[in-house]
């Protein structure tokens, strides 16, 4: 076995590989870009090497820098993870030429499956069923249009070098073919540098079912059963499960045999996935599935296979790459129970799944698995980490396993409802809605399910009055946040004749909300809200709403939904007088918690400069005008009311 390996990746997959390597006694080397200098995978590894600036083209896609890092640290092998260079045969050649081991298939195997058209021709020769279509080299529009007519509409135009839905167009009628082809070619050229396409029959009710295969360097190949990845948005997977719902013994036998045949056809070694498209319009039948493509790497969704087969696929990868035979024979690999994986992303589902950024000011996953289930949280981030615009915005993979599909689905819903994330827009509410969808719950899923139900799945109801009241109480500083998360029962003080209401403003989306918080004679709070909300007494909040306070905001969690409220800070002095004085002063005594700018830095009006902690809350001090910083307070400094926090360079007259 290797003594030390380098992981040519980042985020959750790098952390995942490190966990198995540590269990096996293998030391690890992480690589990182400037944006990832303090990332979790860097902290977890035994060693870490900087490989460049934040853009992937200057760091994680620089195979030369990665190989140099491996040689410099004495690593014997490189694990590519998924994405980045994991399916780049030129990188494999570079690794091998340096005398290192690539933990994955050979460059020849990757090349054989790297182009969809060539791979399908190879599979046809191997006797693996392939979707009816044109997979040839000729690319003249007249020929492609003629082939589309022969295949029969609707057809699917697909980039031969692509994936992730890029360079893909569905065409319903012949008159739309030319325009669709032009669009697919432009997109394919931009994404993959290759505008060649193939044309295939469009399957009316497609299921995306894939088979996990594994080979070694002794000619052995096995399958670890199937996964269903049909729940997709924009051709990208959202929730995966194993085994596939509705799978019949006949189809499983035919599909797994075809997958192993495909792996053996290219003398495959390591972890791989054979992806099939299945026509589910008349149920799952053994003669209605076709090879789509092969992923010559570990898949994002590999944990569901591990859960139902009791295997560690990363351990298998390391053992096979180190020259060992497969740890198990086909007869020793069995199925047990059902597993789901939900991909938690920083994205706005209601806005077409637009990727989001932000700092994860609050990040909390369930402490324990739901009753009757087991659970894994696969993540590469911690509370306080930022979601960078440079990389995929995945926050975590939530994986559950139980005795059957319904029990596993219930566990998934429970775990999502107990997940709390604040600081960025996330998709937990969408995932919970999908898990509860009637068709998905029944296993009646195909790749068009999310598209058909998207409006309902992404709709989030307006916050209830109790949720707004909880946010107002937190914003008003009514009680601390003890471990019980129940600030609503604490006393707020004494008023001799009557309570004086404290006015608090909140903003939720486009709505400005005025709340008036006062203390009742019994010591509880009353929150008066303007229409359309109702006034709320604090004892009405005993349903244990969970909340998180973060700079300038309060997020209240109800189930899998996080309602975030902006809290305008009345104490931040950014008025004209402050601007004229050329300095910013502390509005109250407090602790300088975080400094976000430096001496000599040019800043713009409204830019956050530092965070002042006072009254158990954090207040953002922002630039009152454009300018250059002459002096700024240091982190950890205790300041009094009126202390100068920031002084600007005086502008020349």
The rounded distance, in Å, linking the Cα atoms of 391 and 357 is: 10
* pLDDT at 509 (0 to 100): 87
| 216-252 residues labelled b (16+ CB within 10 A) or e (exposed) | beeebbbbbbbbbbbbbbeeebbbbbbbbbbbeeebb
The predicted structure's pLDDT at residue 652: 56
Cβ proximity of 606 and 622 under 8 Å: yes
Single out the catalytic residue among 207, 297, 405, 524: 297
pLDDT at res. 579: 46
Say what the pLDDT of residue 651 is: 64
Give the residue ranges of DSSP H helices in 212-272.
249-265
So what's the pLDDT on residue 86? 96
Residues 34 and 29: their CA atoms lie apart, in Å, by 16
Q: What is the pLDDT of residue 490?
A: 45
pLDDT, residue 589, reads 65
Residue 191's pLDDT is what? 75
CA dihedral 223, 224, 226, 227 (to 10 degrees): -130
Predicted pLDDT of residue 605? 86
- pLDDT tens figures, 465-508: 999 999 998 888 754 333 334 444 443 444 444 556 778 889 99
Burial of 449 (0-12, 13-18, 19+ CB in 10 A): buried
Active-site residue, 585 included = no
Residue 198, phi then psi, degrees to nearest 5: -125, 160
- 29 contacts: CB under 8 Å, gap ≥ 6: 4, 5, 6, 7, 45, 46, 47, 48, 49, 69, 70, 73, 75
Q: Compute φ and ψ for 156, nearest 5 degrees.
A: -125, 120
What is the rounded distance in angstroms from the CA atom of residue 183 to the CA atom of residue 177?
10
Among the listed residues 650, 649, 651, 647, the one whose alpha carbon sits nearest the alpha carbon of residue 621: 647
**Alpha-carbon distance 481 to 586, whole Å?**
25
Question: Going along 234-311, which residue ranges are E strands?
Answer: 236-242, 270-279, 289-295
- Which residue ranges in the chain fall short of pLDDT 50? 479-497, 572-580, 615-616, 653
> What's residue 13's pLDDT?
98
Percent residues over pLDDT 70 in the chain: 91
SS3 (DSSP) at 289:
strand
């Amino acid at each position: 076995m290797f003594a030390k390996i380098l992981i040519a990746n980042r985020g959750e997959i790098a952390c995942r590989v490190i966990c198995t390597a540590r269990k096996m006694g293998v030391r690890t080397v992480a690589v990182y870009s400037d944006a990832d200098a303090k990332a979790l995978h860097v902290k977890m590894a035994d060693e870490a090497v900087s490989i460049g600036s934040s853009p992937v083209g200057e760091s994680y896609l620089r195979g030369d820098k990665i190989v140099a890092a491996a040689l410099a640290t004495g690593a014997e092998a490189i694990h590519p993870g998924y994405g980045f260079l994991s399916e780049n045969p030129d990188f494999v050649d570079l690794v091998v030429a340096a005398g290192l081991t690539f933990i994955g298939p050979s460059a020849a195997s990757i090349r054989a499956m790297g182009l969809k058209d060539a791979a399908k021709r190879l599979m046809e020769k191997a006797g693996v069923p392939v979707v009816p279509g044109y997979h040839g080299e000729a690319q003249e529009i007249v020929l492609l249009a003629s082939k589309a007519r022969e295949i029969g509409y609707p057809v699917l135009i697909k980039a031969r070098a692509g994936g992730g839905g890029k360079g893909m167009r569905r065409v319903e009628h012949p008159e739309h073919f030319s325009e669709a082809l032009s669009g697919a070619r432009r997109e394919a050229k931009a994404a993959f540098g290759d505008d060649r396409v193939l044309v295939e029959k469009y399957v009316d009710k497609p299921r995306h079912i894939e088979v996990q295969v594994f080979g070694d360097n002794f000619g052995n190949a096995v399958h670890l059963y199937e996964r269903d990845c049909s729940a997709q948005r924009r051709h990208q997977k959202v929730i995966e499960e194993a085994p596939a719902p509705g799978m019949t013994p006949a189809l499983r036998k035919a599909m797994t045999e075809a997958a192993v045949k495909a792996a053996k056809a290219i003398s495959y070694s390591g972890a791989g996935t054979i992806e099939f498209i299945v026509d589910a319009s008349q149920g799952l039948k053994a003669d209605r599935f076709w090879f789509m493509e092969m992923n010559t790497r570990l898949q994002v969704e590999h944990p569901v296979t591990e859960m139902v087969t009791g295997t560690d696929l990363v351990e298998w990868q390391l053992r096979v790459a180190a020259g060992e035979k497969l740890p198990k024979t086909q007869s020793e690999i069995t199925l047990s129970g059902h597993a789901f994986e939900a991909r938690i992303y920083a994205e706005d589902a209601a806005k077409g799944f637009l990727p989001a950024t932000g700092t994860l000011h609050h990040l909390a996953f369930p402490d324990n698995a739901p009753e009757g289930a087991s659970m894994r949280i696969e993540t590469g981030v911690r509370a306080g980490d930022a979601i960078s615009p440079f990389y995929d915005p995945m926050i975590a993979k939530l994986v559950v396993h139980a005795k059957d599909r319904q029990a596993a689905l219930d566990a998934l819903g429970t775990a999502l409802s107990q997940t709390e994330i604040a600081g960025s827009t996330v998709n937990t509410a969408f995932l919970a809605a999908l898990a509860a969808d009637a068709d998905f719950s029944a296993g009646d899923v195909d790749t068009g399910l999310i598209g058909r139900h998207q409006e309902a799945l992404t709709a989030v109801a307006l916050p209830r009055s109790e949720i707004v009241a909880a946010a107002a109480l937190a914003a008003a500083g009514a009680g601390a946040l003890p471990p019980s998360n129940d600030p609503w029962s604490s006393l707020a003080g004494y008023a001799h004749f009557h309570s004086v209401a404290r006015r608090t403003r909140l903003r939720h989306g486009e709505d400005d909300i005025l709340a008036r918080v006062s203390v009742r004679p019994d010591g509880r709070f009353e929150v008066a809200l303007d229409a359309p909300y109702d006034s709320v007494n604090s004892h009405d909040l005993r349903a244990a709403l969970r909340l998180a306070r973060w700079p300038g905001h309060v997020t209240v969690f109800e189930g899998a939904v996080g309602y975030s409220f902006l809290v305008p800070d009345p104490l931040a002095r950014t008025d004209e007088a402050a601007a004229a004085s050329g300095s910013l002063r502390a509005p109250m005594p407090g602790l300088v918690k975080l400094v976000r700018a430096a001496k000599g830095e040019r800043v713009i009006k409204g830019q956050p400069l530092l965070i002042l902690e006072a009254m158990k809350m954090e207040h953002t001090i922002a630039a009152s005008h454009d300018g250059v910083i002459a002096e700024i307070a240091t982190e950890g400094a205790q300041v009094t009311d009126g202390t100068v926090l920031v002084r600007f360079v005086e502008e020349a007259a």
